[in-house]
Structure 1
Amino acid sequence: MKISPVVAQLRTWCPTFAQRVAGALQFDLARDSALLPMPAAYVVMTEDDPGENQVQNRTRQRIGDEFDVVVALATGDERGQSAADPLHDIRAELLRALVGWQPMAGYDPISYEGGSLVLIDRSRVLFRFGFRAEWTLGGGDVPETFAEVELAGLPPLAGVDIDLDAIDPMADPNLSNPGPDGRIETVLRVELDQGPP
């Protein structure tokens, strides 16, 4: 999942941050450099969680893309008491902005996965809120796997030829072998209409 749409959604729907929302692939990089003025939020991709393949003859697999919104708040005490109430309000803003929102075409709406404390010191509190959006690999209109790309490259099915070696319906299988005997009794040619050019 792309994180840019999530960043834009938070900038629009979370007024507490006053547009101070950024994305990162690893939060350690955002934590230690290029810090935004607080309060701020950082959207960080955390996990790509694939489920088991659901079918045997092709690929159909549910994948959960997980991300955190790490909130940075200024605090005046090492216990973080002054940040506890604002975190409650910020969580409400994040839930209104993200839960139930579809981040990209093909994704299910985002769900909330919980939160936890990341860091606390004399100057700031970092708290992470986890979110997840699922999508399905395979079976869509656009090829997503190698097998689907291969199948998409085949020419359209123009028709089917059938050579039938019939078993004698009157033969008693208890008395003799009813066939097939290797002789082609019927030939079928089926042409499929490809529709208008």
Structure 2
Amino acid sequence: MKLSAVINQLQSQCPRLSGRILAGINLDTLGGNTSQPLPAAYWAPINDLASGNTAQNVHRQTIRDRFEVALLLDASNPQQALDQLHDLRAELWRALVGFKPGAEYNPIQYDGGELVSFDATRLLYRLRFFAEFQLGRNLPGQPAETWHERELDGLPSLTGVTVRVDAIDPADPNLKKPGPDGRLELTFSGELKQ
């Protein structure tokens, strides 16, 4: 998923975090960062999960792109920090849940959250989200998304078919029964026009 789509959505839809939404996250050093104005949000991809192929003669998989938004709050007043966390979580849900980060994606869904750290100066809370898309195209005219599709695109077009029929009966008594006798009883051809 493109970072810019989610960051732009957060910047435009989260006024309490305006100008304080950053890409990338290092949870080990984040809580000790005293130079960052608070509250602040940090966006980072987590992973992607793939389902098995759902088709037999083409390739189709559902891919779940997962990401997180970590909220860093001033916790010098714990009650105020927890109230602010409640409001900022709701603001993030309004900004992201149901938003489509790209034409190929389903709307974003919330995947849960957790408290990472809470001390006398900082509160760090992580919210996880995901959006799914299909790997493998739906229509032949769309660009190839897999090696198999690319390979199929390189094949020549089917322009015609010739069928030759060797019927089992009547069978030649000099050959093993039952089975074709090696003589063609019927041949026909057809051309395909586009």
Q: What TM-score bracket applies, with the shorter chain setting the length?
A: 0.7 to 0.9
Q: In the alignment, what sits opposite 1:82?
A: 80
Q: In the alignment, what sits opposite 1:22?
A: 22
* TM-superposed deviation, 1:84: 0.9
Gaps of at least 5 residues in structure 2 are none
1:127 and 1:88 mapped to 2: Cα distance? 11
Q: In the alignment, what sits opposite 2:56?
A: 56
Which deviations, in whole Å up to 9, do the C-alpha atoms of 1:135-185 show, x marking residues without a partner?
1111332211111110011122112222122233x78xxxx9353222222
Q: In the alignment, what sits opposite 1:103?
A: 101
Which deviations, in whole Å up to 9, do the C-alpha atoms of 1:46-76 show, x marking residues without a partner?
1211112223333211111100011111121
Amino acid at match of 1:151: L
Amino acid at match of 1:16: R
Q: Secondary structure at the match of 1:10?
A: helix
Q: How does 1:22-171 map to 2 (within 5 A)?
A: 22-24=22-24, 26-28=25-27, 31=30, 36-77=36-77, 80-140=78-138, 141-168=142-169
Q: Are 1:27 and 1:44, in contact at CA under 8 Å, matched by a contact in 2?
A: no
2:192 and 2:33 mapped to 1: Cα distance? 63
Q: Secondary structure at the match of 2:59?
A: coil
1:34 and 1:165 mapped to 2: Cα distance? 85
Q: 1:29 to 1:156 in 2, by over 3 A?
A: farther
Which deviations, in whole Å up to 9, do the C-alpha atoms of 1:4-37 show, x marking residues without a partner?
210110000001102311111x434872779642
Amino acid at match of 1:120: F
Q: Secondary structure at the match of 1:53?
A: coil
Q: Are 1:12 and 1:19, in contact at CA under 8 Å, matched by a contact in 2?
A: no
* TM-superposed deviation, 1:45: 0.5
1:188 and 1:37 mapped to 2: Cα distance? 79
Q: In the alignment, what sits opposite 1:4?
A: 4
Q: 1:162 to 1:66 in 2, by over 3 A?
A: same
Q: Percent identity?
A: 46
* TM-superposed deviation, 1:120: 2.2
* TM-superposed deviation, 1:81: 2.8
With normalisation by structure 2, the TM-score equals 0.86
1:85 and 1:116 mapped to 2: Cα distance? 15
* Aligned residue pair count: 186
With normalisation by structure 1, the TM-score equals 0.84
Q: Secondary structure at the match of 2:51?
A: strand
Q: 1:30 to 1:14 in 2, by over 3 A?
A: farther
Q: Are 1:30 and 1:42, in contact at CA under 8 Å, matched by a contact in 2?
A: no
Gaps of at least 5 residues in structure 1 are none
CA RMSD, 1 decimal? 2.3
